[in-house]
Structure 1
Amino acid sequence: MISTKRVFTSSPFMMLICGSLILALALGFRQSFGIFLKPMSLDLGYSRETFAFALALQNLVWGITQPFTGWLADKYGASKALLIGALAYMLGLFFMAKSTTPLGLMLSAGVLIGIGLGGSSFAVVFGALGRAFDPSKRSLVLGIAGAGASFGMFAMLPYGQFLLNSMGWFGALIVLSITCILMFPLSLGLKEKKIPLKEKRDTRAALTEAFHHRDFWLLGLGFSVCGFQVVFILTHFAAFIQDHNLPLTIAANALAIIGFSNMLGSCLAGYLGGKYPKPYLLSLIFFLRAIVITIFIFCPISQTSVYIFSAAIGLIWLGTVPLTNGVLASVFGVQYLSTLSGIVFVMHQMGSFTGGWLGGMLFDRTGSYQIIWITAIFLSILAALCYLPIQEKPLNVLKATMQPIDKA
């Protein structure tokens, strides 16, 4: 099988703009779902575990579909995967508004939106951008695109909160569904064509190489902790704040602050990733997360402490994504970056499923989020240690210095 590479019909700068805006919409909608937890649960009689399980399922489906949409993007072009994702996302939001039973919520918010995210988020967009830009600029470009995702969180949360206050959760979800239409023209900005290469390396060979290297799995293990923490906070932080007798407005502001702060954090992570070893930066991020969460949960919860925590955790929020994809590109190349990124993202989403669902389950059993916060601290330390032995070297160098994993 003759390998191919992709040549983009848009300029790299236009691709960066369109890719960043797609991430802003896709991730912005997703990160606003936490503000719907209480109003939907109260109106429809759901427990927190029911709503949390739907969002946890969303993250699991997102992860499962990501290798397939990544493969689709690598083989047929990012724009085709993005169109599928946009359509599924739009339908998922529409049917989420229409759902009146737990099963309906699972199928809409869980399955459909999960598929939508799989086709419109990091693996597809980052894979395209990774191929389009020179390696010397790649880390910074991925950081800027990651900041676009954070801008979506910053912008879409107030937007969602405004819609929620003015027309209730049903009307808000319908309007968000209509807003998804913007993804369709933006996807054309990542349109590409393929040209043949002399290299005879197909998807199967690329996967075999990755699966037989220890660092690929260490990267995925650390990334799964990131998913656990991020989705727990996105799903439950608004309710946690309200449980401490603070209004929903403060909860929405806190999530928006995380998004705004991470615009700076993602750009900084991308910039530093071009100058320092990315595995060490990833390890530092998780050590800092452990410190920030520890200080927060053992201090009195107030508006001030919530906003300080949000700003601090936001700086180290999604900076893991460009750094992780940067390591994959450095070690395994960019030809199959979307596919490999998608597989690592499965592990991220397994953690996401666990964090989102376990937070709701433990709250319903104990009436508190304390156990899950403490779990997040210990997992942060574990992830920080996982990244330290990773070697950010091209595959041909690693083959000479590392022993492959023996087949069982």
Structure 2
Amino acid sequence: MTTATENAANTNNKAMAVWLVLLAAAGTFSLTMGTRQTMGLFLSPLNTATGLGIGSISLAFAFGQLCWGLTQPFAGAMADKIGAGRVLLTGILLVATGTFITPMMTTTAGLIFSIGILSAGGAGMAGPAVLMATANRLIPAHQRGMATGIINAGGSFGQFLMAPVAGALMLSYGWGNAMQVLAVIVLLALPAAFLLRGNSVQMNAASGVTPVSTSDAIRGALRNPSYLMLSAGFFVCGFHVAFLATHLPGVIASCGLPAQFGAWSLAMLGLFNIVGSVSMGWAVGRWRMKSLLSALYATRALAVILFLIMPKTGTVMLVFAAIMGLTFLSTVPPTAGLVAKFFGPANMATLFGIVMLTHQIGGFLGVWLGGKVFDATGNYNLMWYIDIMLAVGAALLHLPIKEKMLTPVMA
């Protein structure tokens, strides 16, 4: 017969285990995402050093967006089968390697390899599909909404922390050395690979659940209109956030503002996304997730409209970055929550990885078109108009989603 003291100890142990999982997952996302989201600061120095042109370098960054997305369904499937720990270990090492060798690259192909394949692919392996699915496997169901918000906030905290660190390193040691120091910092995430080991096969065996195969889960998801609409909306999110993360420093420079506003604006994006992500993690358990997503996309459209008509002062830039930060990646908790609600946690890493792929296809277009538009027109105005139209479309697209548990169609 257990005593009150033993019950209290068990409760404390469970709470400690939950927080260790969250710390490991959020910390990993903080380091990998924080490093990736500072890359916009290196766009101009890379152009000066290589002479390749903003359009060519933007292509390398765009491939990074695409590879980050392409990696996640496969990384999710591997994590579901062989365990998250091995996948995360490989991903962290690839991020560090790709970031470290980037200053040595002098061609577009070399930058695509270091930024677009190694670093971005590694970040995809250690990205939200694997991290959030692992958290859903290790954390009780009633805590999963807040858990996804906290993990997502970890990525934002990384951006908030790493952007000014990268800016300071660039001023003190030059852009190349700064990038290599960031590569070493990423290795601090290695212990998380041990804490987050395990896979969904073990979870199903422990619970007595017979899992749906990965191929059947994918086929069932791709036949479901709600899942497809959710994925299409996340495409718009990717277009928006990748364009901002890569080109916001360029937008600020084109307005004639000092370069430090670029780093500060990226930091504001990260800081306020912490607030947005945690708030959204709390909200997903209280309101319909599709309604929250519609509101977020509508807010983005309105914020960009107001930005276009306001004078481009330093204060306006920082306030705009703060508002964008509130909606920046706060789409992730309700999107991940809907995937888990539709299909359960067993194949979530794979199915959310596919949704992340659509996000990154949008990211590829946002980064690449941003560079092309700037080279052709000397400004980013056309990109803002496209962004407004896409955001309004995404707000409307989420309204017909049927928010209920779905059964994947078997082959």
Question: Which category describes the TM-score, using the shorter chain as reference length?
Answer: over 0.9
**1:6-405 pair list within 5 angstroms:** 11-192=17-198, 194=202, 196=205, 197-396=208-407
Q: 2:37 touches 2:245 (CA, 8 Å); kept in 1?
A: yes
Q: What SS does the aligned partner of 1:300 have? A: coil
For 2:150 and 2:209, how far apart are their aligned partners in 1?
32
**Any stretches of 5+ residues in structure 2 without a counterpart?**
1-13
In structure 2, relative to structure 1, the CA distance for the partners of 1:200 and 1:110 (3 Å cut) is closer
Provide the C-alpha distance between the structure 1 equivalents of 2:361 and 2:196, rounded to a whole number of angstroms. Answer: 28
Give the TM-score taking structure 2 as reference length: 0.93
Looking at structure 2, the residues matched to 53 and 138 of structure 1 have their Cα atoms a distance apart, in angstroms, of 36
| Deviation of the 1:192 alpha carbon | 2.2
> 1:198 deviation in Å?
4.4
Amino acid at match of 1:335: A
Distance in structure 1 (CA, Å) of the matches to 2:211 and 2:38: 44
Moved over 4 A (4+): none
Could you say which residue in structure 2 is the equivalent of 1:5?
A: none
When structure 1 is superposed on structure 2, of 161-170 and 189-198 the one drifting more is: 189-198
Aligned length: 391
Question: What CA distance in whole angstroms lies between the structure 1 residues aligned with 2:238 and 2:254?
Answer: 24
Q: C-alpha separation between the residues in 1 aligned to 2:165 and 2:320?
A: 22
Structure-2 separation of matches of 1:133 and 1:277 = 22
1:137 touches 1:274 (CA, 8 Å); kept in 2?
no
Q: Which amino acid aligns with 2:243?
A: F
**CA-based RMSD:** 1.5
Identity across matched positions, percent? 36
**Shift, 1:46, TM fit:** 2.1
Amino acid at match of 1:37: L
Instruction: Provide, for residues 188-218 of structure 1, a one-character-per-residue CA deviation record: whole Å limited to 9, x for no partner.
Output: 1212262523415211221122111101110
1:182 Cα deviation (Å)? 1.0
How far does residue 344 in structure 1 lie from its aligned partner after superposition? 0.8
Q: Distance in 2 between matches of 1:17 and 1:146?
A: 12
Is 1:87–1:116's contact at 8 Å kept on the other side of the alignment? yes
**C-alpha separation between the residues in 2 aligned to 1:124 and 1:201?**
18
Runs of at least 5 residues in structure 1 that lack an aligned partner in the other structure? 1-7
Cα distance, 1:306–1:192 mapped onto 2, change above 3 Å = same
Distance in 2 (alpha carbons) for counterparts of 1:230 and 1:213: 26
Give the C-alpha shift of residue 60 in structure 1.
0.6
Q: How many angstroms does 1:393 deviate by?
A: 0.6
Does structure 2 conserve the Cα–Cα contact (< 8 Å) formed by 1:150 and 1:263?
A: yes
Q: Give the superposition deviation at 1:135.
A: 2.4
The separation in 2 between residues aligned to 1:312 and 1:198, in whole angstroms, is 43
Q: Whole-Å Cα distance in 2 between the matches of residues 302 and 200 of structure 1?
A: 55
- Give yes or no for contact 2:136–2:144 (8 Å, CA) kept in 1: yes
Distance (Å, rounded) in 2 between the aligned partners of 1:94 and 1:308 = 33
The answer to which of 46-55 and 18-27 deviates more is 46-55
**Deviation for aligned residue 1:144:** 1.0
The Cα shift of 1:66 comes to 0.8
- The one-letter code sitting in structure 1 at the alignment partner of 2:232 is L
3-state SS in 2 of match to 1:316: helix
In 1, Cα distance between the equivalents of 2:261 and 2:223?
47
